[in-house]
Structures are given as structure tokens and as C-alpha cells.
Amino acid sequence: MVLVVQNDPEVPVGSYGEQLDEAAVPWRLVRPFAGEQLPGTCELAAAIVLGGAMGVHDTAKYPFLSTVREFMDACVRADLPLLGICLGGQLLADVCGAMVSSGQWGEKGVHGVTLTDAGGRDPLFTGIPREFVTFQWHNDSFALPAGSVLLASSLACPNQAFRIGQHVYGLQFHPEVTTDVVAAWARGTRATSSDWEEYVAAFAEHAPAYRPAAARLLANFLSLARKVC
């Protein structure tokens, strides 16, 4: 079973839920923010930890983050296939001893990302162009944990993806969002209607490139999980 951890009611599984269903992959959504309990790693084939508006250090306001961190630490120790997305990637970096900072590398909207040489060889990015389109929505960003491998970068935010161990990945970008999710996030900002409509229009314009790469990334992750199991 693949476990999907949702940290924020406004940050859903998006297109990845549909893709898991279409691939007939058994999966379960757990919402720790709503008091739902995380299972032990021995029950899982893989885990995906989604993003959220909170920061990794906001445990006083969001105490469930401590439980999510403990779960991710168990995944790392077991080298269970794990994909941390945005906040999930930041939590992973924090668990592995790296700094997560605010305000320095923030991004919103459609941005290009480039694979490193190591990223071009990594199974998570098989079949994905060396330069590909991502959707970004973050103020915080992670440093690289000791012993990790940088897989993707950009001028706006140099640490976009890393691997630690053989099967554990952290991403800064959002491969799972849909047009509806982008629209909801954009409306939630203080931007004027014309500004948030620009986010949606830009996403729609780049969707023909974004969607295949995002789908391939999840397919690669699931393939990796099957090989491990």
C-alpha cells in the first residue's frame, strides 16, 4: 500500500490521487491535522508526504507535525520509498539535519527546473527532460542534508530535489497540482483577481509540458517502490 500524508486541508493529493487510481495502486490518505493516525512503516510499500502552508518549525501551532516528522524519520531509517513534496521535502530535510530557511528562495507560479548530472541518471527522473516545467508555491526552502545528492536546481531556488539513501526523495516543487488547486491557492493570496488569474493562465499555458513530466515522476516513483518490495 502507498500512504499519502496530507498536512493541510488546502493542499490535496491533486492529480496524483487520480493517477494512483488509474494505475490500480492500493493507497490510503491519512490526515494527521484531523487527528488521523499514521501507520507503521512495515505496513507500507511507499509513502508520499504532501505540502502545507505551515513551516517545519511551526509545531507549537501545528503539533501534528512532530508526528509526521517521526514517521518520516522511520521511513528514512528503513529506506522506505518516500517522496516529500514542498513542505514534505522541507520536513525531510529537517529530519535529516539540514536547515530550512524562510524568505530567501521563495517562488510562486510556473518555473523551470534543471536536472543535475546525478538527476539525469536518477530513476526518479527517467524519461523527464533535462529542463522541465514545475509549479512552485513556497516561501521556505531547504538546504541539502549531509550525504544527500542534489538532483535538480534552478536559479530562483538552487535546491529543488534531492535523494538521501537509495529510495528517499525530497522535492521543493509541486508535481501534483491541478488547475483547480492552482486557482484555489491563487484566490487565497492577497493578489487582485487579475493577478491570480495570471497564475491560472500561466499554469494552463504550460500544462502540456507540465502534466507529462509530473505523471512520469510519480510513475517512476511507483516503479521504484515495486522494485524495492
Residue 206 a catalytic site member: no
Active-site pick, 43, 131, 176, 229: 176
Active-site pick, 138, 157, 174, 198: 174
Active-site pick, 75, 86, 96, 157: 86
**Is residue 131 within 8 Å of residue 91, measured between CB atoms?**
no
12 CB neighbour count, 10 Å cutoff: 20
Residue 176 a catalytic site member: yes
One DSSP character per residue, 41-100 reads GGG-SEEEE---SS-TT-TTT-THHHHHHHHHHHHHHHT--EEEETHHHHHHHHHTT--E
Closest to 162 in 3D by CA, of 151, 177, 172 = 151
Residue 205 a catalytic site member: no
Catalytic residue positions? 86, 174, 176
